[in-house]
Amino acid sequence: MEKLLVIGCAGQIGSELTIELRNLYGNENVIATDIKQAPDDIVESGPFEILDVLDEKKLGETVDRYKITQIYHLAAILSGNAEKNPVKSWEINMQSLLNVMELAKEKKLSKIFWPSSIAVFGPSTPRVDTPQYTVMEPNTVYGISKLAGERWLEYYFNKYGIDGRGLRYPGLISYKTEAGGGTTDYAVEIFYEAVKNSSYECFLDANTYLPMMFMEDAVKATIDIMEADAEKINIRSSYNVAGISFSPKEIAAEIKKLMPEFSISYKPDFRQAIADSWPQSIDDSHARKDWGLRNTYDLKRMTKVMLEEVSKKLKG
Ligand code: NAD
Ligand code: AKB
């Protein structure tokens, strides 16, 4: 019987992935934790504990108490917020992963999920159809921590046989929980502002292309890689996953088709330089070939669902 620990369950991904994991493995078998209070549906549907992943002792006790066999480690400081406090963000992003990997070694955990990001790439990387293997010289603290994390994931696999699996998520778009302080957050905020004010001031330029993915596809990809047979996982750092690439101008045009009164203006801030250092689109052929990654949302379908769901949410 697998017992799962989710670290960072209250975040944009955790708040949806935890519920999906509970549907699959049973509510009592998925222990949700975060440094802050989780949404009601997580607290009410199964075990929830406040846990700081940097607290090694409590992390170890939690793994023992619940007889945990797998960890989904989602806690991190994202790109925009990390630039505001680089050293602290490095500590959270790196030390947390080392705590989890050391525990996996000591307690012989069966699998670890840890998400990487398109932030592992940098300005010297080819930006269109960015390959799995290419130049990687990230210039943000978040990107540096993700690249180092990938190296650690592969190192623990090669050296200790720890079955760690990772995805280089693109920007994730969802309506349940706000985005957590990243550069791709504009593609979530735009829907809230469209519904509330029929207008949005974007912190990126009109033609800034970035890869994005709707949360339902991201959750499915996460579960698919974790459920795949170990021999299918040929890449032990993290897999490219592509999703959909579009610019602020293109998503605004798609929103306008459903809300003709919507307007967008542009006031780029420090996140523009981050976006300019990231890929515009991603080649995810390895993930497709190795364990069957599939994406089901395009820009049109995602825009329709986001507008409907954000409208419902804001109307209470
Ligand atoms: P988020 O910021 O929404 O959630 C992170 C959660 O971690 C928060 O609930 C936060 O309270 C918690 N946390 C922070 N510090 C903690 C600590 N010390 N102990 C325990 N919990 C702590 O982030 P997210 O968007 O859900 O991202 C989850 C993971 O996926 C991160 O590793 C992130 O880098 C990665 N990722 C996210 C995206 C995206 O677009 N959302 C894209 C690429 C990669
Ligand atoms: C961010 O913008 O920091 C994240 C990511 C792509 O890793 N959404």
Nearest CA to ligand 2 atom 8: 171
For residue 246, give both structure tokens. 């579009």
> pLDDT tens digits for the chain (316 residues)?
899 999 999 999 999 999 999 999 999 999 999 999 999 999 999 999 999 999 999 999 999 999 999 999 999 999 999 999 999 999 999 999 999 999 999 999 999 999 999 999 999 999 999 999 999 999 999 999 999 999 999 999 999 999 999 999 999 999 999 999 999 999 999 999 999 999 999 999 999 999 999 999 999 999 999 999 999 999 999 999 999 999 999 999 999 999 999 999 999 999 999 999 999 999 999 999 999 999 999 999 999 999 999 999 999 8
At residue 316, the pLDDT reads: 82
Ligand 2 pocket test target in 146, 184, 208 with most atoms within 8 Å of CB? 184
Instruction: State if residue 182 touches ligand 1 by the CB under 6 angstroms criterion.
Output: yes
- Provide the CA 212 distance to its chain's centre, in angstroms: 11
Q: What is the CATH number of domain 173-211+243-281+296-315?
A: 3.90.25.10
Q: What is the pTM of this model?
A: 0.98
Determine whether the shortest distance from the Cβ of 12 to ligand 2 is under 6 A: no
How many angstroms separate the CA atoms of 162 and 106, rounded? 10
Tokens 């974790």 map to which residue? Answer: 226
pLDDT of 24 reads: 98
Every domain of the chain and the residues it spans: 4-172+214-240, 173-211+243-281+296-315
Q: Which residue is it, tokens 């959750």?
A: 219
**Residue 142 among the catalytic residues:** yes
How high is the pLDDT of residue 16? 98
In DSSP terms, 264 is beta-bridged to 200
Q: 11-50: b or e for each residue (b if 16 or more CB lie within 10 Å)?
A: bbbbbbbbbbbbeebeeebbbbbbeeebbeebeebbbbee
Query: Is residue 245 in contact with ligand 2, taking CB distance under 6 Å?
Result: no
Point out the catalytic residue in the list 25, 66, 72, 142.
Answer: 142
State the pLDDT at residue 250: 98
Regarding the domain delimited by 4-172+214-240, which CATH topology (the fold level of the hierarchy) does it fall under? Rossmann fold (3.40.50)
Task: Find out whether 240 and 130 touch, Cβ atoms under 8 Å.
Answer: yes
Residue 179: per-residue pLDDT:
95
Q: What is the DSSP string of 106-127?
A: HHT-SEEE--EEGGG--TTS--
Q: Burial of 234 by CB count in 10 Å (0-12 exposed, 13-18 middle, 19+ buried)? A: exposed
Under a CB-based contact definition with an 8 Å cutoff, are residues 277 and 214 in contact?
Answer: no
7: DSSP letter: E
Give the pair of three-digit tokens for residue 166: 């990772």
| Å from CA of 14 to ligand 1 middle | 8
DSSP string, 196-240: HHSEEEESS-TT--EEEEEHHHHHHHHHHHHHS-GGG---SS-EE
Residue closest by Cα to atom 15 of ligand 1? 75
CA pair distance 202, 280, nearest whole angstrom = 18
| pLDDT score recorded for residue 239 | 98
What local confidence, expressed as pLDDT, does residue 1 receive? 87
